[in-house]
């Protein structure tokens, strides 16, 4: 699924960037460009970040 239409960035790319340590939409913009132009996707980027780290926290607490 496309997350950022300005750069054509997919959720797969964003997932990879977050898995490599991105914790903010600015980190993602620096890594792949998503969220760096109009900003309409920043809410989605933050949701992807939150979901990733919530899943990581759930693994740690098991």
Helical residues (DSSP H) of the chain, grouped into ranges: 11-19, 25-32, 42-61
What's the structural domain count of the chain? Answer: 1
Q: What is the pLDDT of residues 24-61, one digit of tens each?
A: 999 999 999 999 999 999 999 999 999 999 987 777 76
| 32: alpha, beta or left? (left if phi > 0; alpha if psi -120 to 50) | alpha
Write down the pTM of the prediction: 0.88
**Two tokens, residue 30:** 């620096």
* CATH number for the domain that contains residue 50: 1.10.10.1100
What H or E segment, with its residue span, contains residue 4? strand 2-4
- Contacts for 22 with CB less than 8 Å, ≥ 6 apart: 28, 31, 49
């Amino acid at each position: 699924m496309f997350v950022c239409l300005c750069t054509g960035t997919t959720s797969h790319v964003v997932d990879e960037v977050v898995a490599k340590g991105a914790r903010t939409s600015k980190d993602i913009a620096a890594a792949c460009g998503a969220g760096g132009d109009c900003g309409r996707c920043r809410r989605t980027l933050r949701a992807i970040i939150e979901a990733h780290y919530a899943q990581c926290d759930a693994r740690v607490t098991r």
